[in-house]
Structure 1
Amino acid sequence: MSSKSQGDENKNLPLVSFMSGGIAGAIEAAATYPFEFAKTRVQLRQEAGVPTPRNPFKVVSQVFRDEGVRALYKGCSSLIVGSVGKDGVRFLSFDVIKNAFADPETGGMTPARNMLAGMTSGVVASIFAVTPTERIKTALIDDARNKKRFKSAPHAVKLIYQETGLLGIYRGFAGNTLKQASATAFRMGTYNILKEYERARDIEQSTTVNFANGAVAGIVTTYSTMPFDTIKTRSQSAKGASTIEAFKSIMADGGVKMFWRGTTMRLGRTVFSGGILFTVYERVAAVLNAFLRT
């Protein structure tokens, strides 16, 4: 078998990339949502007389004690729907871009091209899936702290659209796109750089290896993109804010260190989510590829 045909066999069909990414994203979002909930609460501005603990683990225990386990999943449905679209689009666009950039004989990619492919797919995902669903998720978490105007995700969409139009649904687009472009570049890029390295040394791509690669990619992504994530959260609160307003409010609340508020909880989530996401993606893609190519 030629090296070219071997390279073709390693490529996922477009439908496989989209479906595998969507399924992996939904499972990852549901499994790790309490981490995301606590991280978002910590990043939001404190309401007068209602201080939020700085320790995300205290946020989880406090909400669980005062409001019950269901409260920890406020906004989860929005994130799951968004993750299906986000990761479906992200993996599809990444695989399409990666295949276009790859060496035609070996299917290999340089680290720089891996990162560029990830960045481009992050922008695509932000436009078509991530920004609106992240906006609703963040608004639901923020609203649940006191006002409780939103009864559900659809109700939140309706009210926000009535009050601010489509631009309100896309509030935080700039910060979110910066975050998605950088996060996807680091996450997808790091994962595929590790994968290329392992393939060159004939290291078998087992479930354990996939999970470890995804976890490492999650660590790199968290520390590299945390400021963008904090800006995005402030922009997409229930009240909403422009990217500049969000930046100013973060600086006013605690200076530069505030941009890394919630890192501990996000790190916990991204390590597990990276492992879960890529492991599920690889397994589902293998099954679908085998089925569709028979």
Structure 2
Amino acid sequence: MPTTIPSTKPISPWYHVKQSGGLTPLEMGVNFGLVGASCVAAQGTVHWTRTAMVQQQLAGMRGEQPLGMLAQTGSIWRSEGIRGLYRGFSAAALREATYSSLRFGLYEPLKVALDSSGGTKELPVWKKVTAGLVAGAGAAAIASPTDLLMIQMASSKQFPPPTMYQVATEVIARDGVKGLYRGLGTTVTRAAVLGATKMATYDVIKTELRRAGWTEGPGLVFTASVATGLAITVTTSPATNMQTLIMSGNVGGGGGMVNAAAEILRRQGPVGFFRGFGMQWARFGPYAVVQFAVWESLRNACGIGAI
């Protein structure tokens, strides 16, 4: 009777076992760090647009004449130089390293959790939207203080600009630790809309372009990124304006989203919800291109593969 020889092939540890989404648990963990690095890099290229956008959004609420995109940027540059345009970058970098790492890093694990087919079928769009929404809202709740610090630093008229430590100390001395979470509801709402729009739009557009014959490469990433940047600018502009109003602490509207929306509508009309749209697009468009390009490159370098 023939003797059965046991297989000597080693069993892969659990963290090397592919999930239905195509990544191992170890790769999902590495992906958190890669996305954080890509988001900080992207923010470094476009942070000046966020500073100018905050000043644009608050001008109308302060009773000042809002400047156009180029005029606002030029005004800050002439009076403060590059340092003024990069007000709040330290808080913005911390935000990207926490909020964005969680928002993007949680997207694929959530897709796996929602995939009842075990990876044999394309995930429905509504599940991709749900994964992006949950990841964005959860990450925003954790990182909300960094948003508040960044907005207060960007909106300050003080020169040289206050440091993140100075702003945090002032907020805590005035309102306690809970003051760092002012505007949390608006931040979570904005992040949920942004997360649902950004990852789902990018994912769906790449999928459709692949079906149309496009191959992986810079052209595919650039096209999907540009379309994604425009989509999130449209969907998040109202919440972004309310967030700036609430978190700046320089004007009324600290009572929450409803009060902030009423203030914007009363002082500026419906157009107030889209104040700074050009600057938002100038940020989201290049940010999406840089972030996705760096992220995809880092994933490929680590052997994880494309999104």
Q: What SS is found at the alignment partner of 2:75? A: helix
Question: How far did residue 259 of structure 1 move?
Answer: 0.2
Q: What SS is found at the alignment partner of 1:44? A: helix
Question: How far did residue 187 of structure 1 move?
Answer: 0.6
Letter in 2 for 1:95: E
Q: Does the 8 Å CA contact 2:141/2:187 hold for their aligned counterparts?
A: no
Where does structure 1 differ by over 6 angstroms across 4 or more consecutive aligned residues? Answer: none
Q: What corresponds to 1:249 in structure 2?
A: 263
Letter in 1 for 2:204: I
Q: What corresponds to 2:197 in structure 1?
A: 186
Which of the pair has more CA radius of gyration?
A: 2
CA distance in 2 between partners of 1:92 and 1:270 (Å): 19
Q: What SS is found at the alignment partner of 2:214? A: coil
Report the CA distance shift for 1:219/1:63 in structure 2 as closer, same or farther (over 3 A). same
Decide which of 61, 64, 67 is 2:74's aligned counterpart: 61
CA distance in 1 between partners of 2:262 and 2:166 (Å): 30
1:174 paired to 2:185: yes
Give unmatched runs, 5+ long, in structure 1.
none
Letter in 1 for 2:198: R
Question: How far did residue 34 of structure 1 move?
Answer: 1.1
Number of aligned residue pairs: 284
Give unmatched runs, 5+ long, in structure 2.
1-16
Query: Over residues 98-144 of structure 1, what are the superposed CA-to-partner deviations in whole Å (9 max), with x where a residue is unaligned?
Result: 11123314362111111111101111110112x1111001111122x
1:123 paired to 2:123: no
Q: What SS is found at the alignment partner of 2:122? A: coil
RMSD: 2.4
CA distance in 1 between partners of 2:97 and 2:217 (Å): 24
Question: How far did residue 174 of structure 1 move?
Answer: 0.8
Question: How far did residue 202 of structure 1 move?
Answer: 5.3
CA distance in 1 between partners of 2:154 and 2:212 (Å): 46
1:220 paired to 2:231: yes
Decide which of 215, 218, 236 is 1:204's aligned counterpart: 215
CA distance in 2 between partners of 1:90 and 1:122 (Å): 5
Q: What SS is found at the alignment partner of 2:106? A: helix
Identity of aligned residues (%): 21
Q: Does the 8 Å CA contact 1:150/1:156 hold for their aligned counterparts?
A: no
Q: Which moved more, 1:67-76 or 1:280-289?
A: 280-289
Q: What corresponds to 1:82 in structure 2?
A: 95
Give the TM-score of the pair, scaled to structure 2.
Answer: 0.85
Letter in 2 for 1:88: S
